[in-house]
Amino acid sequence: MRTRDWPIRSKLTALVVVPVTALLALWIFATTLTFGPALGLLSARTLLYDLGRPGEVVVTELQRERRLSVVQLAGTTRLPVLAEQRQRTDRAVAELRRRVDGEALRDAADDLLEARIDHLVSALAALPAGRQFIDDRSVDRSGAIGLYSGMVTAAFQAFSAMATLDDPDLNRQALALTALGRSRELLGQSDALLTGALSAGRFAEGEHTQLVQAIANQRWLVDSAVADLPEGGRAAYQRLTEGEAFTRLRTMQDALLAANRSGRPPVDAAAWQTSHDAVQQQLRDFELAEADGLTDRSVPMAVRILARLAAAGVLGLVAVVVSVLVALRLGRTLVHRLSGVRTAALELAEHRLPDVVARLRRGEQVDVAREAPPLEYGHDEIGEVGRAFTEVQRTAVQAAVDEVALRRGLNEVFLNIARRSQSLVHRQLHLLDRMERRAEDPDELAELFQVDHLATRLRRHAEDLVILAGSAPGRGWRNPVAMVDLIRGAISEVEAYDRVDITAAQPVGVLGRAVGDVIHLLAELVENATAFSPPDTRVTVTGEQVANGYALEITDQGLGMSAAALETANTRLASSPEFDPAQSARLGLFVVARLAARHGVRVRLRPSEQGGVTAVVLIPADLVTAEPPAGPDPATLSAASADPARRLARTARRGAVPRTRPPTAPRTVAAPSAPPASAPTSGGGPGDAGSAADDELEGLPRRVRRRTPAAAQPRSTVTDTPAPRSPEEVRRVMAALQAGTARGRATVTTPAAPTGPATPIGPVTPPEPPTATERDA
């Protein structure tokens, strides 16, 4: 039994119930011990009148029948008086049986007395058979005496079992009366032996010895019984023995003790009979009187015991009730006070402290003294626990305040570092843009594009710090941007951009206020897809308009995630939790969750049919608008015929981000397999305003490789011998030539929606945020 896990109420209840139950058990036990003797004393009257008196009558009638039976056996004829005596004996036996079968006697008798009563009834049941033996003279005088003496002995054994009173004096007096009755029975046996000898004229063999033993035992029992009688009883018996009948009977007994064993008894039959009957009756009356007196003394004693029992019982019951009430009151008080401490602890842990932390994170001011009021529970140990818990509350709230302050300070540090990094990256990107415009060598231009791509990824990682710090990135757009441009901008911020295919994208636009965050969100998901899939597999991006917005699916062919990992990731994406530095390995999920929560975008991961993971991004309908028109560029129209090089450069930019004119049908977007090695131009320079304007057309700005015009290149006066080219260089030149041819053809005819398989996207730089002039326009 593990009691340490019990509630405090159960423990206090057990602490109260166990002692009270023990006290109640002791009270019941003491009451029972006292009540038992009282019931025993009260039952003495029942035993006397239902067993003692009827039993004594049966004994007297059996003694008389025994004497007459011995006289009949000593003679030769039947005695009519014997028949009459047998009828009186039968009536006495019937009355005794009726009394012993009553419920009152059986309830008052214990087990020993019930056994003795049953033995007496069984002995009396043999009386008819014994009478038949006597009538048939199948037994002698000694046998007849033994037959009746056995029944009388059974009666006196029952009388002895009645002397079980708890009061020692009364019990001793009851046993003394039983001994007097036995002495009277021995006197009756002596009378039967002597009457038989007188009728026969002589003692039979062994009869004198039996007579001597009976007289000796009778005198010994009288002496021992009288000694146990009360003083009044002893005095009354002494006066009884001083009477004439007792004196004559004792004189004749002395003569019988000295008589010849085989001769005639030396006493007169009539004198013996008179003295014997008188002594028997006097002894019987003395015994009945003493028994009545014993009963009368037992009743007041029983009443006194019951009175003391009632007083003790009431006082004990009052003590038990008082103990229960005090224990319940104290227990209830302890439970109430401990429950108050428990409630305060739970209130702090489950409600107050989380509320304080939430308010602190919202930037509210928190009063520690008001949020952790003192708990007053007295001045005992429970009060000390309450005061200790008050200190714990204050410490916890203060720790929460300090933690939030520390977190806010760290966020400010992260934000400051990120803003500085962003500023440096933007300056780096502008510097790279100028360097790309002035670059002449195609290989050098390709390396600049790689540096440009790395700087773009660095800018996204700097924005991660801004987002985790709780602020918004600096990039923003005023006008809607086409979804395909937005997807391409996200792909361009991924290292393995050449493994990503845009298989289908229905033409829609995204409001400018969400463009930067959606690009960042998609870039994080695409980067996860490329990072957790084999390098020789493809990552596909599809988009379609649905009833409640626009759905994008980014699917990889990696090993996938377990069901538990998917559930954990989806929970984190849906709830936008606070950033935990211990979970830095899942930094992208925190960023995606923050960005999605900012605009109501729903992101969910699910298993892919190809074995990897599919990230489903649902952009809400309030962020989706019609695709902005591509439209012709006024600068392009004014210079198309005069400057074919600028037209070719613009065509090359548009070839990098193809757009479909019909807004209703989905399209498959393709890009060249590699960026062009060179783009021939015939007009303008690196700082040409027309080229800069071309780069800002059609939604998101794009950077395109361009060569300095041939006229601006310095001519060499030395004829260089062509150096042998490696196979990789030849392949790069041929790929550039093929891409240039495709873009040249695109300027002749209006491009239609591509229907062939998608190809990887080249290193297209991500969109730059608009300038202050563009935002104010």
Rounded to whole angstroms, how far apart are CA atoms 544 and 551?
A: 6
611: left (phi over 0), alpha (psi -120 to 50) or beta: left
> Which strand (E) or helix (H) includes residue 504?
strand 500-505
Beta-carbon contacts of 243 under 8 Å, excluding residues fewer than 6 positions away, are: 282
564: left (phi over 0), alpha (psi -120 to 50) or beta: alpha
Give pLDDT, residue 111. Answer: 83
Residues 510-535 have pLDDT tens digits of: 998 889 889 989 998 999 899 889 99
Rounded to whole angstroms, how far apart are CA atoms 295 and 465?
A: 108
Question: pTM of the full predicted structure?
Answer: 0.44
Q: Tell me the sheet residues that pair with 605.
A: 615
Pick the residue with more confidence: 709 or 207? 207
Pick the residue with more confidence: 533 or 710? 533
Residues 424-439 have pLDDT tens digits of: 877 888 888 888 888 8
The residue with tokens 């080229």 is: 691
The whole-number average pLDDT for the span 696-706 is 46
Beta-carbon contacts of 311 under 8 Å, excluding residues fewer than 6 positions away, are: none
Residues 295-333 have pLDDT tens digits of: 777 777 767 777 777 787 788 778 878 877 887 888 788
- Label each residue of 346-362 as H, E or C: HHHHHHHHHHHHHHHHC
| Angstrom distances, CA of residue 727 to CA of 88, 232, 449, 498, 731 | 152, 150, 22, 21, 6
Give pLDDT, residue 721. Answer: 44
Rounded to whole angstroms, how far apart are CA atoms 383 and 390?
A: 10
Q: Which segments of 549-633 does DSSP mark as H helices, in order?
A: 563-575, 587-599
Q: Do the strands 500-505 and 539-546 form a parallel or antiparallel pair, or are they unpaired?
A: parallel
Contact in structure between 165 and 174 (CB atoms under 8 Å): yes
User: What percent of the chain is predicted at pLDDT more than 70?
Assistant: 75
Rounded to whole angstroms, how far apart are CA atoms 537 and 557?
A: 6
Q: What type of residue is 694?
A: D
The whole-number average pLDDT for the span 242-253 is 89
The residue with tokens 């400057």 is: 643
The residue with tokens 């009152």 is: 104
The yes-or-no verdict on residue 261 having pLDDT over 70 is yes
Our measurement of the distance from residue 151's CA atom to the centroid of its chain's CA atoms, rounded to an integer in Å, reads 73
The yes-or-no verdict on residue 7 having pLDDT over 90 is no
Question: Is the alpha carbon torsion for 380, 384, 387, 393 positive or negative?
Answer: negative
Rounded to whole angstroms, how far apart are CA atoms 563 and 469?
A: 31
Query: Of 417-421, 433-437, 573-577, 675-679, which one has max mean pLDDT?
Result: 433-437
Q: What is the average pLDDT value for the chain, to the nearest integer?
A: 75
Rounded to whole angstroms, how far apart are CA atoms 508 and 16?
A: 77
Length of the chain: 777
Rounded to whole angstroms, how far apart are CA atoms 554 and 51?
A: 109
Give pLDDT, residue 579. Answer: 62
Contact in structure between 204 and 242 (CB atoms under 8 Å): no
